[in-house]
Amino acid sequence: MSTHIITPGPYRATKLWNEVTKLFRAGMPLRKHRLHFRVHGSCFTAAAAVDWLHELLRNNSNFGPDVTRQQTLQLLKKFLKNHVIEDVKGRWGTEELEDDGHIYRFPPSSPLKPLPRTPSGKKNFSLKDKEGFFKFRSSKKLDKETLENVDPSEQEQEVNGEAGTVEVHRRELTNDDVLEVWRDITLTHLQKILGVTALEDVLDLRHVNPQNIVYNMTNVNKHGVVTLEDKTDDIPPWVLSAMKCLASWPKSDSSHPSYPGFERDVFKTVSDYFNSLPQPLLTFEFYELFINVLGLLQPQLERVAVEALQLCCLLLPPGQRRKLQLLMRMMSRMSQNVDMPRLHQAIGTRTLMVHSFSGCVLSCAEEVDLDELLATRLVSFLLDHHTDILSVPLYLHHAVTDHLHYLRTVQIPYPVGAGVPGSAGGVPVPLHAFCRQISSQEFEEQRLTMSQTAIAELLDLLLADSSLAGKERRKKLRQFQKQYPDIFSRRFPSPESQAQILEDKPRIKPPLLLTKKIRKNIRT
């Protein structure tokens, strides 16, 4: 059975449920079974369903080999609850399902879950969709280069000389300005990595706190772990002691008791603490975001998934990020420690830890049918790549630093005598003191006009760019015409003018008879 990768996008958990449902109905072997002297056709036993579905999930790229038989049984129970299957008497919903020989069948129709629609019913296009295909340098970059090549004093003289009414000043950035830059650049990188048309489809932007991003980037120790100023949100000392004991086993503190099974009691102490937290380490607010990152957990996209998780974990509150870092460090050391005694009779240490802590790392505020399977998949990947995922991304720090440097060096003209926003005779003046309040109707009109003008300028740049080959230019123009038909029609109103720039110009070949005559003359 071929695997269909569910890529990042809205309602990914629902799409995964529907995909597994369709694969199960299409591939589960059916045959005759006898029950109470009666033969039932096209049915299967619960044990056979667990066998087949377990193998499907383990080999499915959306879930992976860490899926256990017990998790598969739990999924079958949810299938019965949601009427994906029923027993041979037609009962479902409240019936119990065990890993045994009881007989089940598929109902006539499969109740696939419908995908909610956006209120507008229209697809949201991001800035990347609308303008990303233009390979031009941004106007900000051009302005920066222009300013770097012009002496500030000469520029100010030129402005004052022309109008006589303006002065040029450098912009003063407030703390809110800096936080906004951190937020916007982080989210821009995240949207690009996920490849979604709009980040709002997978993330409620109201929950993004730029102060958390800055804190997680700057307040770290030499090991890269977040340090907290407020210790009330930190892991309690007795839990930290238990975690250190497991991470450094058997080099434990001599004050610790030593008896058979001591390590199991310590592990249970740590597990109970994390699973009793009021919300998961990745928080309920970011559940949909992390579920969508799971769509990148493919062999060929491993590096992309690491970068996406690296940015997602920066959005966490510092206390949650610190707990996640310390938990992953402990799990990594325990799974690699050959001297660690077996903590479970049936499963290995790594598998035990993944399933013990998956629920406290990722879960939804409301029960989701595939919660446990998806959390296991994510925690397993976090365990293998936690060093990179939970480190500080230097490229993001450089991007923010460069942009802040540009904003601080750009020069802005202001009317003479009006003063600079932020100061008036030594007294701070808010920026809005120099602005005239306009009505909402004026704002909408100005926004529409400015947007239309900016897009029209993009078309002019595209037509004037001499670095584009003819074929590439025509391709870009067709994309522009598709995205902005009104603006394109105003620039090229007639079909003839549109055809002139869009259609490929045929190469003129010499007539065949003339070619033969020329060759004949050459031979003679």
**Where do the domains of the chain lie, and which CATH numbers do they carry?**
12-105 (1.10.10.10), 221-391 (1.10.555.10), 469-524 (no CATH)
pLDDT digits (tens, 9 = 90+) for 458-516: 777 777 777 777 788 888 888 888 878 888 888 888 887 777 777 765 555 555 555 55
Contact yes or no for 75/369 (Cβ under 8 A): yes
Segment among 83-92, 158-167, 170-179 with least mean pLDDT: 158-167
Burial of 354 from C-beta contacts in 10 A (0-12 / 13-18 / 19+): buried
pLDDT digits (tens, 9 = 90+) for 96-125: 899 999 999 999 887 788 876 654 444 443
pLDDT for 193 equals 92
Average pLDDT over residues 160-171: 54
pLDDT for 499 equals 79
pLDDT for 253 equals 56
Q: How large a percentage of the chain has pLDDT more than 70? A: 76
Higher per-residue pLDDT: 496 or 231 = 231
In three-state secondary structure terms, 427 is strand
In three-state secondary structure terms, 447 is helix
pTM of the full predicted structure? 0.67
Segment among 132-146, 179-193, 400-414, 466-480 with least mean pLDDT: 132-146
Q: How many residues does the chain have?
A: 524
pLDDT at 336 over 50: yes
pLDDT at 152 over 90: no
Q: Which CA distances in Å does 87 have to 83, 93, 112? A: 10, 10, 19
Tell me the Cα Rg of the chain. Answer: 32
Average pLDDT over residues 365-386: 89
